[in-house]
Amino acid sequence: MNEPYTKKKQIIDDMKFKLSELSAKSFQNFREDYLTSNVGTKNQNFILFFSNFLLSFLIFIIRKPDSILNAQLWAEDGQIFLRDEWVTGFPDTFFFLYAGYIHLVPRFIAFFANLFPYTFIPLVFNLCAILISAISVSIFSLTKFRYILKSDFLRTIVIVLLCCSPVGIESFNNITNVHFFLLLGVFLLAIIGGELNGFSYLLITVYVLLGIFSAPLAICYAPLFLIRPFLCKFDRKRWVYLVLFVISLGYGILMFYLGSRDSVVGIDWNYFLNPNHIEKLIRLIVATYFMNTNSVEFITYHKYFWILEVILLYFYIKKFKMQGVQTSILLGSFLITVLIPVLLRGGLSLNEEQASYTTLMSGAKESFYFLNVINLMINRYGLVPYFMFCILTFVLLFERNKHQITVHFPILVFVVFLFVIRHSLFIKPYEDLKWDQYADMVKNKTDVSIPVNPIWFPKIEFKKELWKRD
């Protein structure tokens, strides 16, 4: 009588055992690859990093040459960071919260730029942003990431794709949005493999602290700092990463309490907890990387991106034994960088006008959610998810353990993608607001009223009595 039940239980137990065995083997491979990901020499790492840095730096300038040729301040660059530097000054401005969190890097760069003559301030801002962005994406070129993507050539292709992002183009070459590049750098340094010397730990600590205190989403990667203390038991300095974990976790809790907890109240959790809805949102987001969201084709064809999801899922399962932990970390990081902005920045909440429409039209709620998510993800909040998607896709599609790889297919994928996003490669120049003509206001420390891009953004404006005293 209990024989069918017994057979069913046996099948379930066998599946659990095989899954457990597969997971154990995957972790064993991850541990071995992570610890031995140190095959490159110092000279090789220097050449890889420096060449990718120069390439990235050049791409950022080519995409938006007016950043150098006719430098203008963007949004908070002027109205918040430079204004506060003129009125209060660093290091006091370090403790000023904006949007609920600290902005260490922008505040320091505002201080640094103010050491130069007035006419050079926008150029210094933009050069610093390009420098930080190029350093951040180039970290992935180091040989210590071969345990994720073995080929140095493929990692360079990924870096170029990161520099050519079709979404979040407002984030390029300005300090206001440089924290999205810092976020990528913090993620990469959290999972960097191989042995590290004392100087490497110092550089990593400085970069990560700058990132944590400038990029609020970086705190989401706090658990990744536990990988090194857990695996590198031979390394006496590994506890540096434990300290970084504690700092990022404590700062994250503080920032959530001070700035983000009110955002949680309006979230439609019932919609969010449905896996089918999450899949639709992810499909919608991935489609924005390939198609113009304002086109009829996007409305028609975005639904078919489930095919790409199935392909990536197939390779995820296929490679789980060899790289299951690596791909799971990348997939989890992609989901985190998608879902947290969607949740905390109003993707799954309705304003009053939208809420009124939902009472008149059935199905309007989901349409509004999709519209909110698209508006978030084609702008700056879509930049880091795009980064994660590029890395994850290349890791899944190209075998890590082959010493001789065929470069034709990766190059084809690269060229086809660049062709698809060709209209997004060159970023529209900022409006020339004649920055130089306001020099006398600053030189004489009179009343200040200086416009910044975008033109609708509040000006740098304050009375002469507010100038800080030298």
Residue scoring higher pLDDT (359 or 185): 185
Look up the pTM and report it: 0.90
Q: Is residue 430 part of a domain?
A: no
Query: pLDDT tens digits for 78-122?
Result: 889 999 999 988 888 888 888 778 899 999 999 999 999 999 999
Structural domain includes residue 25: no
Each residue's pLDDT tens digit, 289-315: 887 777 667 777 777 888 888 888 999
Asked, for residue 82, whether it belongs to a domain, the answer is yes
Asked, for residue 150, whether it belongs to a domain, the answer is yes
What average pLDDT does the segment 444-456 reach? 89
> What number is the average pLDDT over the span 386-407?
76
7 inside domain: no
- Whether residue 435 lies inside any domain: the answer is no
Can you tell me the distance from the alpha carbon of 225 to that of 144, in angstroms, rounded to the nearest whole number? 16
Query: Is residue 347 a part of any domain in this protein?
Result: yes
pLDDT value at position 14? 65
**Structural domains of the chain, count:** 1
Does residue 216 form part of some domain? yes
pLDDT band at 182 (very low <50, low <70, confident <90, very high): very high
| pLDDT at residue 412, as a whole number | 82
**Domain span at residue 366?**
30-424
Which of 57-66, 231-240, 305-314 has the largest mean confidence? 57-66
pLDDT at 212 over 70: yes
pLDDT tens digits for range 264-283: 555 667 777 778 878 888 88
